[in-house]
Structure 1
């Protein structure tokens, strides 16, 4: 700054620098948020494909195993074998559903962006409070 600038010009210049700094910080945080969303989308698509394939294979395996158990006990305890197989399948399904509910409640979306924004806010507050 030169000594020939008046107070109004210095204030205007400081305001422009502040606005430029805010826009640059906002752009950086927005880029980070977009990057996180793209990564989360790619992870989710891969996860859904693997989950679908594993579900199909598990259903085929469980069906085959259940049939094997029922056929093995057909002459002696067919109703017991059917009931036990049903209880095992229902219990396993319930446990897995509870696990999925637990995992679905976890926050993973934009965690890094929110952390950086909180850090930015803390830095601004500490600079504002210090003389």
Structure 2
């Protein structure tokens, strides 16, 4: 006996396919989210470790340079040498703080996930307009 699909069966099958597609798309987006989060975490940890070591080495180097400058000018202009060295260090510190602030304002977290959600929304809006 041939199987006749009535309107209810076709509607049920179509809605099941739509729900399955939505679940698959959601799972893909969730996996992308998790992968990006793990990459960002490892990048951040590496960046923090390297920045900490670099700051420690630079601090030692600057301390030794300041000591050298003060010893060189100890007899004649020790206060001026210490003042100029301090001014240069403060200016460099402010410049670096400004650069860190600019880097922190740049969005990079979950960039691919957000762009994928944007593409999904555009596809849905195009599909809605054609329907």
TM-score by length of 2: 0.96
TM-score by length of 1: 0.96
Distance in 2 between residues matched to 1:7 and 1:27, nearest whole Å: 30
Give the aligned CA root-mean-square deviation in angstroms: 1.1
Question: What displacement does 1:25 show?
Answer: 0.3
Q: Which runs of 5+ in 1 are unaligned?
A: none
CA 1:130 to 1:3, structure 2 compared with 1: closer, same or farther past 3 Å? farther
Q: Which runs of 5+ in 2 are unaligned?
A: none
- Tell me, yes or no, if structure 1 residue 34 matches structure 2 residue 45: no
Count of residue pairs the alignment pairs up: 130
After superposing on structure 2, the runs of 4+ consecutive aligned residues of structure 1 that deviate more than 6 Å are none
- Tell me, yes or no, if structure 1 residue 10 matches structure 2 residue 21: no
Deviations 1:38-82 (A, max 9, x none): 000111111111001000000000000000001100100011001
Distance in 2 between residues matched to 1:23 and 1:107, nearest whole Å: 28
Question: What displacement does 1:3 show?
Answer: 6.4
- Tell me, yes or no, if structure 1 residue 123 matches structure 2 residue 123: yes
Aligned residue for 1:45?
A: 45
Distance in 2 between residues matched to 1:30 and 1:109, nearest whole Å: 15
Question: What displacement does 1:127 show?
Answer: 1.3
